[in-house]
Amino acid sequence: MPDSLINHIKRFIEINEEQEKILLSFVEYKKINKKTFLLKEGQVCENNYFILKGCLRLFLNLDSGYEHILQFAIENWWITDFLSMQNGTPSKFNIQAIENSEIIFLNKNIKNELFERIPKLESYFRIILEKAYSAAIMRIHFQLDYSGEERFMHFNRLFPDFVQRVPQYMLASYLGFTPEFLSKVRGKKH
C-alpha cells in the first residue's frame, strides 16, 4: 500500500530494495477518518505526513471565528508545519483530513535517523522542497497580480478535478476571497 511513497521517491532519486525496506520500517501507516486532526493549534508538530489516499488541509483559525486554508495536500503530497517542527514551538495551524484518508507518518526524529541510514533521502527532500518553495512563490505572485476571478479561473484550469473535490467555501478560503464572491464568479459564466 505505501508503494506510492516508494514510487514517488523513485521519481527523484534511486534507491534499492534494501533501502526501501529500511524506509518502510521507519514510517507508520494509518487510516484516518474525515475531520480527524493530525495537528491542532497549540501543539508542536512532530511529523511529516505523506498522503497515500485522500485529502488534507492546513489552516489557521482567525480571531473573527473564520478560518483560512494555507495548504491543501492530496495523493503524493507531503504536508507539515515546518516552522513548528524546526523550532519545537507550538503551531499556529491545524492539519485536518477533508476526506477519509490513508497517511504515512514520518516522525521528525525518525527522519533524522533515516537520513543517517540513507543519506540520499536528503536529496529527495531537498528537491521536493525546492518544488514546494517555487510553488509558494508562484502562489504569492498570483495573489499579488491577479484578481479574484482570474485566480479562480486559473486554479480551475490547472486542477479541474480538485475543484470538484472540495467544498466551495474551502476553495474560496484558499484562494483568498469569500464564498459569496466565488459563488458570484461561478454564476457569471452562464
Which residues here bind DNA, judged by CB under 7 A? 64, 147-149, 167-169, 176-184, 186-187
Single out the segment in contact with a copy of itself by CB under 8 A; choices: 14-22, 60-68, 149-157, 179-187.
60-68
Asked if 44 is part of the footprint of a copy of itself (rule: CB under 8 A), the reply reads: no
Nearer to DNA, 64 or 112 (CB): 64
CB of 65 to DNA, least distance (A): 10
Q: What Å distances lie between residue 36 and 2, 32, 96, 162, CA to CA?
A: 20, 6, 6, 20
Nearer to a copy of itself, 34 or 40 (CB): 40
Nearer to a copy of itself, 1 or 127 (CB): 127
Rule CB under 8 A: choose which of 123, 147, 178, 183 binds a copy of itself.
Answer: 123
Nearer to DNA, 14 or 63 (CB): 63
| Nearest residue to 51 via CA among 16, 28, 79, 13 | 79
Secondary structure tally for the chain: helices H, strands E:
9, 8
CB of 139 to a copy of itself, least distance (A): 6
Separation between Cα atoms, residue 58 and residue 5, nearest integer Å = 21
| Nearest residue to 6 via CA among 57, 36, 46, 50 | 50
| Nearest residue to 126 via CA among 78, 75, 88, 92 | 78
Residue recorded with cell 490513508:
102
Asked if 109 is part of the footprint of a copy of itself (rule: CB under 8 A), the reply reads: no
For the window 144-163, what string marks contact with a copy of itself as x by the rule CB under 8 A?
A: xx------------------
Asked if 129 is part of the footprint of a copy of itself (rule: CB under 8 A), the reply reads: yes
Residue recorded with cell 464564498:
179
Residues sharing a CB contact under 8 Å with residue 159, sequence separation 6 or more, in sequence order: none
Cβ atoms of residues 15 and 120 within 8 Å: yes
Q: Which residues lie near a copy of itself (CB under 8 A)?
A: 60, 62, 68, 70-71, 81-83, 86, 115, 119, 122-123, 125-127, 129-134, 136-141, 143-145, 176
